[in-house]
Amino acid sequence: MLRLLVVAALVLSGYCYEEVRFANDNERVVGGTDAVKNSWPWQVSLQYLSGGYWYHTCGGSLIRTNWVLTAAHCVDNGATFRVSLGDHNIYQNDGTEQVISVSKVIYHSRWNSMNLGNGFDIAVLRLAADATLNNAVQLAQLPSDGVVLANDYPCTVSGWGYTDTNGAVSAVLQQAPLPVVSYEICSTSSYWGRTVKNTMVCAGGNGIHSGCFGDSGGPLNCPVGNGYEVHGVTSFVSSLGCNAYLKPTVFTRVSSYIGWIND
């Protein structure tokens, strides 16, 4: 049976900067390049508290001034969380960060951590205070209910971390092109087969670019009109490797949950 790997950061030991630690072996965007500072202004670093230190564990997207969209598997452990908005280099103070505590975690009632392939890997976080919108912090735009992108639609994954599976953590936010792989293709036996559901989005699979551990919950950014919409929430990769050929990164399809998000 093909094993799935959630792409949250799980290891505690790591580098400390201003009481935030980032684990050394948490692989994230593979094959990425440095993003232009604050070019993805809805991108969030989700962090949890352990032993007096804050650890980056996942990504997220700011969807209201006091709400963040992320993956259920990032936040179903009862930890204490906070988010860092407007961040670029996670090892230094960029002067644009806003750090806000999470006051409430709501993940989908049908989420089952023992059955990741069942779907429903989605959560929203209520923040203890409103974020201040500016050039570095903006709200993500979400797609309309039910929208499905065409095969090869040119999207981009963003997150902090490794530039290849066995590389080193990148201090700077990374981005990588991940074209959509349609459900009709991704659900064939050559790709993910029945593991993938129509409430998910596959993207990538060329063996070069992918999401990876620590990208979980972060956005799949897809160009629409003059801007971008967040069409996916990073969910899982193959146990064969984050950038395994014909095993695209799998995202929760946001347009399948618009009603749930609004509720």
Give catalytic residue positions: 73, 121, 216
CB of 205 closer than 8 Å to CB of 246: yes
Q: Which two tokens stand for residue 16?
A: 């400390």
CB of 193 closer than 8 Å to CB of 13: no
From residue 235, how far is each of 90, 91, 154 by CA, in Å?
A: 22, 25, 19
C-alpha to C-alpha distance for 111 and 76, rounded to whole angstroms? 9
243 contact partners, CB below 8 Å, separation of at least 6:
30, 31, 164, 165, 204, 207, 208, 209, 210, 212
Pairing of strands 14-17, 67-70: unpaired
Place of tokens 């230190």: 53
The values of phi and psi at residue 185, to 5°, are -85, -45
